[in-house]
Amino acid sequence: MKITPMTSYTKPAYPTYQESKQDAGLLNIIPKRWGNGSLIASLVGTGLLIQFACTGCRDSDNNDKETKTTLLFPSTEEQNIAKRKSIRTIPATRVAPMLEEALANDGRGGFGCVAISAPVFLSENEAIDLIQAELEKTGLRFHDMTTIEGLQVPNPFAESKLWTRKGNTSTWERREEPVVKTLKKGAYTFDLGTEDKSVVVHFLQKKEFTIWEDGGMGGSTYQSYDLSWLATQMSDAFKKRKNGNPVIIGLFFEPSTYPLQEKGQAVETYNDTKDRARDKLRAQVLHFVDYLKHEGIVE
């Protein structure tokens, strides 16, 4: 087979080097046959065009070819724009999801005339010490009492929502389920926070339930609490903060651990129950640490 040089050919429709420099959008115009995941299409899509021009061909026996290759890369400005688009948009407020097992089984109890077997509680100091020790294993350092502005917090001067009017009558009835007080924008102080306030955490106890739950006029000698419900309500309220420096919030709550029983009798000591309470709280904290890893805050 004898190969002879072409004497004439149709001018190529693809842009020249100089034309592409003036208008980078020209590189996005490619033949349909280059689509469907072809290598050439992917190169053009990333702004890299490889042009091969065979400027002369001679007899194949001489195997003599001259090939010119031109590489076109996106400009610095285009690369910066692409980089900015790839950066994840971080919301002002991220509240870490809480441990489902804890939400389902822990944090509930009551006080009063019918409370017989009371749960074992962790003191505020030992709970916060445990939380801080586990969190600082990640390399983060925490300070006491960190305040974040712009959060939804209870309004102590709002009217009670616990009582509702029965139809169009003058009779009022009390809600059976817990109700959060009316909220307003304000500041909330967390137990621990990093120096830059990018990560803050709080340990919820019964006193927080009293602050957030609309107790109305009260009057009952028995009072119940549900800290898992409270943690969920606080999480929903804090997520409404849309402005300000980004912050990640971790909420943990008192497990309210009851002694193990058989046939109505306790079968473990107070110290054993206390150890289980610490393990339950530690599980909540480690779940939060996993979230920090997922968000790229710690390794």
Q: Of 85, 116, 134, which marks where a domain is finished?
A: 85
Whether residues 183 and 49 fall in one domain = no
| Number of domains the chain contains | 2
Whether residues 27 and 117 fall in one domain = no
Q: Which amino acid would we find at residue 244?
A: G
pLDDT at 200 over 90: yes
Whether residues 141 and 265 fall in one domain = yes
Averaged over 38-42, what is the pLDDT? 48
pLDDT class of 196 with cuts at 50, 70, 90: very high
Contacts of 272 (CB under 8 A, 6+ apart): 259
142 neighbors 192 (Cβ within 8 angstroms): yes
- Range of the structural domain that residue 210 is part of: 93-294
Whether residues 74 and 209 fall in one domain = no
154 neighbors 205 (Cβ within 8 angstroms): no
Reduced to 3 states (helix: H, G, I; strand: E, B; else coil), residue 151 is strand
Distance CA 249, CA 91 (A): 12
Averaged over 266-275, what is the pLDDT? 92
pLDDT at 291 over 50: yes
pLDDT at 101 over 60: yes
Whether residues 68 and 184 fall in one domain = no
- Whether residue 38 lies inside any domain: the answer is yes
- Can you give the pTM of this predicted structure? 0.68
Closest CA to 5 of 71, 62, 52, 69: 62
Whether residues 211 and 255 fall in one domain = yes
Burial-class residue 71 by CB neighbours within 10 Å (0-12, 13-18, 19+). Answer: exposed
Whether residues 196 and 122 fall in one domain = yes
Whether residues 99 and 230 fall in one domain = yes
pLDDT of residue 266: 79
Instruction: Give the chain's largest Cα–Cα span.
Output: 108
- Whether residue 56 lies inside any domain: the answer is yes
pLDDT at 116 over 90: no
**What single DSSP character describes residue 213?**
B
Whether residues 181 and 69 fall in one domain = no
Reduced to 3 states (helix: H, G, I; strand: E, B; else coil), residue 91 is coil
Q: Of 85, 105, 134, which marks where a domain is finished?
A: 85
Averaged over 232-248, what is the pLDDT? 97
- Whether residue 12 lies inside any domain: the answer is no
239 neighbors 95 (Cβ within 8 angstroms): yes
- Whether residue 5 lies inside any domain: the answer is no
Provide the angle, in degrees to the nearest 10, between the axes of the packed helices 270-294 and 124-136.
40
What does the chain come to in residues? 299
Q: Among 123-127, 146-150, 168-172, 216-220, which stretch is predicted with the lowest mean pLDDT?
A: 216-220
pLDDT of residue 262: 87
Whether residues 183 and 59 fall in one domain = no
Q: Of 58, 85, 112, which marks where a domain is finished?
A: 85
Averaged over 133-146, what is the pLDDT? 97
279 neighbors 271 (Cβ within 8 angstroms): no
